[in-house]
A and B are shown apart, each in its own frame.
Chain A
Amino acid sequence: MRKAGLPQSGRVLIFTGAWLLLLLALLASLALGASEIPLTRVAQLLFAPDDSTDSLVVHALRLPRTLVAGLAGAALAVSGLLLQGVTRNPLADPGILGVEAGGACAILVMVVFFPAAPSVLFVPAAFLGGVLAAAAAYSAAHSAANSAGLTPLRLALAGVAVASLLGAATRSVQILFETRAQGALFALSGSVAGRTWEQLWQVAPWLGLGLVLALLFAARVNVLALGEDIASSLGARTARDSAVLTALGVVLAAGSVSVVGPIGFVGLLVPHAARALVGADHRLSLPLTALLGAAFLILADVAARVVDRPAETPVGILVAAAGAPFFVLLARRIGRRA
């Protein structure tokens, strides 16, 4: 006899494990890379920086990129969880509203057409690109909606249309301005290499606030996940709540895309892993998704640094390589259940 839910002790164990995994990922990310720094030295340098190269590597290079990867991983994964819950679509992820395509297109436009722009503008531009793409998808779905309203299917179709349009635009620019687009190739594959403290501070407030709000709204996601009819019957204001939660998902996704570029699969697979561990209650699966998302992207970035050392590999490629088999597993599992 299968049972749903876990006893209290099981949950404590899972959350302890997730925190330990995140800690492990952080330490590995500070210690590993083009040069290896022993863990004891990392710990010592963290609290007492000195003039050594190791200290510079830890504080100026690895710490900001690790924090960027952790924050972006958590935000992408939580964004996917929110969108999956609100749209009741297990295959929803931050890409479904065109956020990633919009962010990528904006990054390329900045690199190709405004190469002289101050670097501080790149993150807001990509953020804007992601948000505008989602807004375009939303309004396209809205204008086509009849009395049946803005259904998740309609939204997903509009998102796919916007994403492919933006993908075509991105590729056109790449072909027409081949030499100038070279500089954006790495960013377009999704990467946290060379992220600075400045870039971290540009997105940290947005992502931090978004994650806190998502935690506060977790109970509402639970009600919406029962479907619009049931949620309305229970007295939820479904149109308002799903708009707010979708917007939150978009901001989280656009915020991460703006600093790490388009990274797929994290927003799709981490929520599934979290739900498989703690069940359908978003008050549990949401914090777990954040922890696992952060740990996953940090570890993927560590792998991206050591797989072809000393050269860097875009982390987005590694995530896709690890994510694709998982995706097939997921599809098989859903297929069996249906």
Chain B
Amino acid sequence: MNRPEDLASPLSTHDLKLAYGTSVIVPHLNLSLKAGQVTSIIGPNGCGKSTVLRALARLRPVSGGNVTLYGQALHSLPSKEVARRLAMLPQGPVAPEGLSVEELVWFGRHPHQGRFPVRRPEDREAVAWALSQTGMTIFGRRPLEALSGGQRQRAWIAMSLAQQTEILLLDEPTTYLDLSHQLEVLQLAQRLNREQGKTVVMVLHDLNQAVRYSDEIIAMRDGEVYAQGRPEDVLTPALLTDVFGLKAHLLSDPDTGRPYIIPYALTR
């Protein structure tokens, strides 16, 4: 089962099958993520991209095959150990009323603590670091419900950062945010990758943002990988037609030289 390349891959899937009851979402997926990169999974609604991300974070049961974390079967690892190596921020989390930002971020230390938690100096450092990375230090005492959507999302990301994992999974982290807050979140993800060497995997809807902020793109259609590779190689007119049913102009981003997509018609 262990292929040599899996040992170097933070997360890989092997004939992974994901189903809700009898309806199969992902029939057999073989995927290998690269370490130290920002990878974005793109695809139309219902293509199974969030389902795959949730399976990578062992948030949902698998119907067949398996997921490995650096070659080890994810489902056989102790759940706290997984949470020390892999942090996942699901879509639209809701905090209990009255919880403050700092209290929330402290939960990120849960996987590092024993049955009866004590606050060790390294825990305090991790929480302070996570707050400062996300620019949330000054909001530490505020309850989450008193924050704007962008601040709240940063607070949740701070909680995931406090887990101090090498892998960070974000499921549609920009949804419901205005454009500047979207960029804020994406730049934060990119900075964590560049400065901390974190492996970041995101599900994104905005293709231009995915192109700009990712080292690698995985395009999914009908539960299968249609293409995987560098943004400039993957985002082609053929892909936009086959995966999204779109006709588009592809311009060149003046900053990055990568494609910039302007869709103008539907093909179906």
A residues in contact (CB < 8 Å) with B = 1-5, 85, 88, 146-148, 219, 222-223, 225-227, 229-230, 232-237, 275, 279-281, 337
Those 9 A-B pairs whose CB atoms lie nearest each other, nearest first: A235-B83, A4-B100, A235-B80, A4-B143, A235-B111, A229-B90, A280-B98, A280-B99, A234-B110
How near does chain A come to B72, taking the closest CB pair, in angstroms? 16
A284 to chain B, nearest CB (A): 11
Name which residue of chain B comes closest to A276, CB basis. Answer: B98
Per the bound structure, the CA–CA distance linking A121 and B160 in Å amounts to 52
Which chain B residues in 165-189 approach chain A with CB under 8 Å?
A: none
Chain A residues in 8 Å Cβ range of B103 = 4-5, 280-281
Chain A CB count within 10 A is highest, among B79, B96, B98, B108, for B96
Chain B nearest CB from A234 CB (Å) reads 4
Is B79 a contact partner of A3 (Cβ separation < 8 A)?
no
Q: For the complex, is B88 an interface residue (Cβ under 8 Å from A)?
A: yes
- Asked if B99 and A4 make an inter-chain contact with CB atoms under 8 angstroms apart, the answer reads yes
Residue of A nearest to B145 (CB): A337
The total of Cβ contacts below 8 Å across the A-B interface reads 93
Q: B88 contacts A1, CB within 8 Å? A: no
Query: Any chain A CB within 8 A of the CB of B229?
Result: no
Residue on A with the closest CB to B86?
A233
User: Given that A4-B143, A148-B20 are known contacts, is A235 also in contact with B95, CB under 8 Å in the complex?
Assistant: no
Chain B residues 67-110 with CB under 8 Å of chain A are 78-84, 87-90, 93-100, 102-103, 107-108, 110
Question: A233 and B98: CB pair below 8 A?
Answer: no
Chain B residues touching A, range: 35 or more
CB distance from B192 to the nearest CB of A (A): 17
B59 touches A (CB below 8 Å):
yes
A-binding residues in B (CB < 8 A): 19-21, 57-59, 61, 78-84, 87-90, 93-100, 102-103, 107-108, 110-111, 116-117, 141-143, 145-146, 160, 163
CB distance from B163 to the nearest CB of A (A): 7
A1: chain B residues within 8 A (beta carbon):
142, 146
Question: Which residues from B are CB-within-8-Å of A337?
Answer: 97, 145
| Among candidates A146, A226, A275, residue contacting B107 with C-beta atoms closer than 8 Å | A226
A-B contact pairs, 16 of them (CB 8 A): A2-B146, A147-B20, A147-B61, A219-B116, A222-B107, A226-B107, A227-B94, A229-B88, A232-B57, A233-B59, A233-B90, A233-B160, A234-B83, A234-B110, A237-B79, A280-B98
Residues of A within 8 Å of B87, CB to CB, are 233
Say whether, besides A226-B93, A275-B98, A279-B98, A3 and B142 are in contact (CB < 8 Å).
yes
Q: Would A5 and B141 count as touching, CB distance under 8 A? A: yes
Beta-carbon contact of A232 and B79 below 8 Å: yes
**Are the C-beta atoms of A230 and B93 separated by less than 8 Å?**
yes
Given A3-B142, A4-B99, A280-B95, 19 more pairs with CB closer than 8 A: A1-B142, A3-B143, A5-B100, A5-B102, A5-B103, A146-B20, A147-B20, A219-B116, A223-B107, A223-B110, A229-B88, A230-B90, A230-B93, A232-B57, A233-B160, A235-B80, A235-B110, A236-B79, A280-B97
For B142, give its contact among A4, A85, A235, A275 (CB under 8 Å): A4
**Given A2-B146, A147-B20, A235-B84; A280-B90 close (CB under 8 Å):** no
CA gap between A222 and B102 in the complex, in Å: 14
Q: Which of A229, A234, A281 contacts B108 (CB 8 A)?
A: A234
User: Least Cβ distance of B39 to chain A in Å?
Assistant: 18
Residues of A within 8 A of B160 (CB): 233
For A5, list chain B residues within 8 Å (CB). 100, 102-103, 141
Contacts of B90 in A (CB 8 A): 229-230, 233
B97 touches A275 (CB 8 A): yes
Distance in Å: Cβ of A16 to nearest Cβ of chain B: 21
Contacts of B93 in A (CB 8 A): 226-227, 229-230
Shortest Cβ distance from residue A272 to the other chain B in the assembled complex, whole angstroms: 10
Write out the residue numbers on chain B whose beta carbons fall within 8 Å of the beta carbon of A275: 97-98
B95's nearest neighbour on chain A, judged by CB, is: A226
Q: Are B117 and A233 in contact (CB under 8 A)?
A: no
A251 to B59, CA, bound (A): 30
How many angstroms from the CA of A226 to the CA of B108 in the assembled complex? 12
Bound Cα distance from A227 to B88, whole angstroms: 13
Would you give the shortest CB distance from A140 to chain B, in whole angstroms?
A: 19
A146 to B22, CA, bound (A): 10
Looking at the complex, which one of B57, B94, B95, B100 makes contact with A233 (CB distance below 8 Å)? B57
